[in-house]
């Protein structure tokens, strides 16, 4: 079943400035949607239920992409669990509740593949949820994300709300965070190889052993999937969004080295955590609905590096603006 969403329908993208939200806005604009609603962090604190209710009452969105949150890589997750748990639980709760109170037609909630147990059978199917202990380095974030799924399901069950939950794998692309203390591995390695090249150095430090396996999805593919699911999917529980293909961190580092700084040498810092040994999603459910990604990893990384080069000095997160004068 496909829902026809009118091009002038008010659509709220919660988290529009981030990696995912900015990709969804680009995608909706490309499709011709004319009434995309956004709110900057200094205009609306999504952790504040009264403020969120006020905003929904004033703006009356009909469709909501709930892609806001406090996010980060393995170091940020393991050192700032209070922020990851509190911010995300609050943001999910306030937006879902306001969407119910103000009669939103449909809401898409975005989770993360880290909701699944650390030792889930690979590739991970949706029914692995809550079948085992979580990966300790991102337990706080995972718990908040699991609560978000259960919240959508509870509002669907008790109030008949059309709220769905998509679980993306590790994402990358334009508007990513390149700050080495809080970023995910892919933007961190682009930054590290780039900085080493600029400084005339060859050694580039890679955290951990290089053996963990990760799956990477370009955020434009994710945005495409989100718009697709908003139009055509209406089930409770999570639906995985990924490529179904993974690489080791060493292989990822080699791809990035070849693109950014081919003469660099990888140096592994095994005092840093590896995190989950493997995390690749079973994507047969979304494939069976007719959705597949289109951006190859090597092409996506090359495009992201071009974006990084083009935006240096103009507000890339984690990269200081070039000195003026
Ligand atoms: O992307 P990442 O930070 O998060 O790390 P997770 C993935 C792997 O890359 C780990 C290694 O094994 C890291 O040790 N790695 C190597 C690096 N070099 C680096 C580096 O310079 N920076 C970073 N960040 N990693 C996150 C969760 O897990 O995945 C979040 O913490 C979220 O909750 C996200 O779910 C998608 O893939 O391990």
Whether residue 253 lies inside any domain: the answer is no
Q: Which residues are catalytic?
A: 141
Q: Which of 88, 192, 275, 281 to mutate to test the pocket of ligand 1 (most atoms within 8 A of CB)?
A: 275
Helix ranges restricted to H, 213-311: 219-232, 249-260, 284-288, 297-311
| pLDDT value of position 1 | 64
pLDDT in the model for residue 318 = 77
pLDDT tens across the length of the chain (325 residues): 677 899 999 999 999 999 999 999 999 999 999 999 999 999 999 999 999 999 999 999 999 999 999 999 999 999 999 999 999 999 999 999 999 999 999 999 999 999 999 999 999 999 999 999 999 999 999 999 999 999 999 999 999 999 999 999 999 999 999 999 999 999 999 999 999 999 999 999 999 999 999 999 999 999 999 999 999 999 999 999 999 999 999 999 999 999 999 999 999 999 999 999 999 999 999 999 999 999 999 999 999 999 999 998 776 887 765 443 3
The predicted pLDDT at position 313 comes to 73
Question: Ligand 1, atom 35: nearest CA belongs to which residue?
Answer: 114
In a domain, 256, yes or no: no
Can you tell me the distance from the alpha carbon of 224 to that of 282, in angstroms, rounded to the nearest whole number?
18
How many domains are there within the chain?
Answer: 1
CB-based contact 233:239 (threshold 8 Å): yes
Q: What is the CATH number of the domain that holds 81?
A: 3.40.50.720
275 CB near ligand 1 (under 6 Å): yes
* Structural domain includes residue 188: no
The pTM of this model reads 0.96
pLDDT at 320: 64
How far is residue 48's CA from residue 120's CA, in Å, rounded to a whole number? Answer: 35
Residue 118 Cβ contacting ligand 1 at under 6 Å: no
Q: What is the pLDDT of residue 324?
A: 39
Residue 68 lies in a domain: yes
Distances (CA, A) of 271 to 134, 136, 268, 309: 21, 16, 9, 31
Range of the domain at 134: 11-176+216-245+281-296
Any ligand 1 atom below 6 A from CB of 187: no
Check whether the bond before 123 is cis (ω within 30° of 0).
yes
C-alpha of residue 297 to centroid of ligand 1, in Å: 17
Residue 99 within any structural domain of the chain: yes
Distance 17 CA to ligand 1 centre (A): 22
The C-alpha atoms of residue 85 and residue 139 are separated, in whole angstroms, by 9
185 alpha carbon – ligand 1 mean position (Å): 5
């Amino acid at each position: 079943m496909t829902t026809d969403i009118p091009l002038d329908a008010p659509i709220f993208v919660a988290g529009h400035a981030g990696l995912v939200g900015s990709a969804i806005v680009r995608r909706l604009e490309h499709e011709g949607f004319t009434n995309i609603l956004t709110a900057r962090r200094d205009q609306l604190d999504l952790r504040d239920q009264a403020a969120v209710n006020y905003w929904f009452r004033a703006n009356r969105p009909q469709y909501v992409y709930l892609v806001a949150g406090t996010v980060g890589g393995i170091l940020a997750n393991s050192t700032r669990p209070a922020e990851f748990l509190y911010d995300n639980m609050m943001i999910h709760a306030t937006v879902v509740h306001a969407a119910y109170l103000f009669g939103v037609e449909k809401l898409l909630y975005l989770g993360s593949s880290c909701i699944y147990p650390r030792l889930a059978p690979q590739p991970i199917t949706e029914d692995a949820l809550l079948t085992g202990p979580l990966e300790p380095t991102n337990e706080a974030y995972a718990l908040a994300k699991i609560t978000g799924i259960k919240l959508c399901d509870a509002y669907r069950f008790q109030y008949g709300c059309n709220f769905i939950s998509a679980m993306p794998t590790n994402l990358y692309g334009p508007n990513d965070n390149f700050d080495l203390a809080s970023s995910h591995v892919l933007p961190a390695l682009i930054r590290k190889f780039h900085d080493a090249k600029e400084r005339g150095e060859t050694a580039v430090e890679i955290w951990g052993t290089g053996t963990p396996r990760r799956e990477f999805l370009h955020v434009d593919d994710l945005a495409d999937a989100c718009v697709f699911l908003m139009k055509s999917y209406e089930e409770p529980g999570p639906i995985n969004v990924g490529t179904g293909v993974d690489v080791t961190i060493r292989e990822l580092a080699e791809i990035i080295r070849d693109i950014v700084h081919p003469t660099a040498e990888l140096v592994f810092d095994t005092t840093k955590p590896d995190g989950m040994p493997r995390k690749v999603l079973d994507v047969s459910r979304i494939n069976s609905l007719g959705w597949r990604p289109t951006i190859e990893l090597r092409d996506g990384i090359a495009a992201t590096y071009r974006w990084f080069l083009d935006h240096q000095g103009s507000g890339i997160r984690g990269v200081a603006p070039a000195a003026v004068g």
